[in-house]
Structures are given as C-alpha cells and as structure tokens.
Amino acid sequence: MTDHGLDLAVIGNGRTAALVDPTARLVWWSYPRFDRDPIFCRLLSGDEEKGFCDVVLDNMADFQSEYLRNTAVVSTVLTDRNGGAVRITDFAPRFRQFGRVFRPPQLIRMIEPVAGLPRITLRFRPTHDYGQAFTHRSVGSNHIRFIHESTVIRLTTDAPLSYIESEAPFVLTRPHHLVFGVDERFQDELETTCREFCDRTIDYWMDWSRGLSISYDWQDEIIRAAITLKLSNFEETGGIIAAHTTSIPEAPGSGRTWDYRYCWLRDAYFVVKALNRIGATQTMEDFIAFTLSIASNPDEPLRPVYGRVIVGMGRCASATPRPSRFKTIPTAASSSLRCRCSTTGACHGSATKGFFGCWRRSAARPASSRWKPTTAFGNIAAANASTPIRPPCAGPAATGLPPLRVDWACRIGRRTGAPWPSRSTTRCCRAPGTRSVKRLPPPSGRRTSTPAFCCCPI
C-alpha cells in the first residue's frame, strides 16, 4: 500500500473522530472518545499492517478522495485498470433528533459499485491497548465482536462475514454497509438506517455552514477550516482538544511526541476566537462552561492542560509506557508565571464576548448577575497582575512594573468586582528612557473604551 503520510481527512461528530487517507483507509480512530485507546492506529504502526480498515481494489489504477461540499463526510472513488469503480463514503453520524444533537460513538462506511465489476477485499483489523491485536472475537449472523477485557468493538454489516474474516476478494455487485461502534444490537434495517443517517448528517453540516458569517473570498477554505475546528470540540463538556492524534513527532528526529488529545486552554482560546469571528459562538458558550467548572474549585491551581473531563492533568502528567511508537513525553505540571499567565489569559480571552453582554439574556436573569460566574477568574487575574515583573524593554534598572496581563485584570476586575490595581499604575510603552507612558483607565460603573495596550513585546 502507498504511504500517504499525513495527507488525511478528518471525520467526526463532536464525540469521536477518525482520520482517513486518500484511498479510504481508516488509519486512526480513538474509541469511544477523543482521548481513549485508538481502535485504528495504522498511522503509528510502522511496518506492521494492523490497526486499520480499508477496501482493497484489485488492479487499482486511480483514486479520488474529497469532502462532500461543506460537510464532514468523505467520499472516495477507486478505479481499476478495466474501468471498474467503487465509491466509499465515510462519516460519523451527527444530526438533530428529539430536540438535541445525536452523536453516537460510531463510524459508518458505505461501499457502492459505480462502474463495471470491481473486485474488492474488505479488511478490518482493530487493535487495543495502543497497538495490540485482538486475540478473541465472536461472529454472529450479521456482526463480528472483537473482545479484550473491557474493550469491545462491534462491526455490524450486510457484507459477507466469511469474506471479511478470511480477507478474501469478491466481486462487488450491490452496495454494502459497515457500522463500527458500541456493542449494541442494531435495531433497524441496516441499509435504510445508514442512508438516512448519511442524509441527515449532510443536512446538519450544510445548515451549520449556512449559519457562518464569512466574506466572499476563500469561502470553501474558511468553511473547511471551521468544520475541522468544530470537530475538535468535545461537546459534552465543552473542552477543545489540540489535535486528534498522539505520538506523532513534532519534527523528523525530534523525539518529542506529545499526546495532543487534551485541552490546552491557550490553544482552545485560539479555536474559540477563530470560530467567533465567523459567527459560530456556540463553541464559545460550551468552552466558557468548561472553564467555569475549572474556576469553581478554589483549592485546585490552574493548569495549562486538562482532559475532556476536568479531573487534573490526565495521562499527560504521568506518562504511562507505550509500546513501540506510542511513547509519550509528559507535560510538566509547572506553576511558573508564564504557565499561570497564559492559562488565565486564555480563559479570559475566550469569555470576552460575555463581558460585553453577548451572553444569552432572559427576563428572569438580572443584568447584574451576568458577570458573577466570572468572579473567580477576575480574582485570579487581579492577583496575577499585581505580581511585580520587570518588562524586558525597561532595562535592568527598572523593577516593579506590572506586565501586559494587567490589562486583562483591569477589564475583568472592572466587571467582576475583583481588586483593582492602583490607579497610578503605569507601564512602559516605548524604549527605556522615553516619556511615552500610558496610564490605566479608572474603573467605573458605566462602560468605557477598551484600555490601551502597551506595545512592549512581553
């Protein structure tokens, strides 16, 4: 098989996500959530042919893979030398049902003949415990269960199970459907359900894309980037992961192989900011709820990274051994000023729109209570801002001046009632020795202009 490197498409639904290469091979899928054990891990398996699901077309001559426009659905067409062709459609179901978003930990694959009599082989090789092959499986009338202790993955299909078990080639004469997911009995007719889920998923993403506020330039690229960012949001808790993978080196030969399937608050802020600019503010509201859950525990210091559920540092803090390429380097649980500053600033930045009255309002909620949930962050910001730090542009002789983050303390404290820095506080804005110094605006009950920012590169 051709190695396509990191030329991959992402499919997901806000609960789980998978990566697909240009020939429709599923090379990465953490199941049942972003940060769990990868069922498909071919991306990091080296020369071992394990941890993937693909469709092998005999005598394949060409392939074309693309997203269906403005969706997270991937369509791939494989063509053989005799003109035979097969279409493979991959997606994770996501649509509105019963007043809420339906997003099960499932992947669905539909395989359809397009031309001629294509001869294909269906291969399904899941793994557990970060790259270990399943040793036990059971076969039903229309499903195969792969079992290892608490990990159970179920493949439900209308394709011939004997061909899948033996990985034998056969001629594709009618559509086949495969559903990967939880070990539950499939209640409805498989083909009808898969096509309904596909149509409703396409409709959902099309409606979501229509709600974006974007310019005429680069529309396709912006929408594609927005969908990709949206797929990194774990909607149950509001956390936003940095990436869907782990153990991929930062650079060739670097040896740094972080697990990015966690929520770095600073990186999450940039995702929220980007989506806010095009009108996708629901992610911001979910992330604010996530950060408020962090701030609600006064006994726990702020950390730069959290899991999808706020239970400390997760596996990043205590790296557990990984077989072969799955070794990860732990994230330092640092309490340095830089860590506290970036973490606090990210939480404040993501909630900026809330401070200016962009939260949902209701008649039963007094205007004064809109700022109360952010009081904890206001106190933290004011405490951090009062820490004397020497700006790098002030030279070795200057000490005791607050850093740039004092602006965040001013903006947060003014609306939360947190301790206010001294009104006479000044900070450098130019090179040492100049008189170009800006003074902080005083607090007031009414809304004032945005505080001026120092241009010092802190």
pLDDT in tens, 234-272: 999 999 999 998 887 777 777 777 888 999 888 899 999
CA distance 93 to 125: 22
Mean pLDDT of 381-395: 46
Mean pLDDT of 326-332: 37
Whether pLDDT at 355 is above 90: no
Q: What is the pLDDT of residue 350?
A: 58
Distance between start and end Cα atoms, the chain: 49
CA distance 436 to 200: 59
Q: What is the pLDDT of residue 240?
A: 94
CA distance 169 to 418: 69
Mean pLDDT of 293-309: 83
Nearest to 285 by CA among 334, 224, 354, 339: 354
Q: Are 392 and 456 in contact (CB under 8 A)?
A: yes
Nearest to 45 by CA among 132, 107, 122: 132
Residues 323-362: b if buried by 16+ CB within 10 A, e if exposed: eebbebeebeeeeeeebbbbbbbbbbbbbbbbbeeebeee
Question: What residue type is 374 in one-letter code?
Answer: T
Selected residue with higher pLDDT from 318 and 340: 340
Task: Give the orientation angle of helix 282-295 with respect to helix 375-385, to 10 degrees.
Answer: 70
Q: How confident is the model at residue 22 (pLDDT cuts 50, 70, 90)?
A: very high
Q: Are 379 and 295 in contact (CB under 8 A)?
A: no
Selected residue with higher pLDDT from 197 and 345: 197
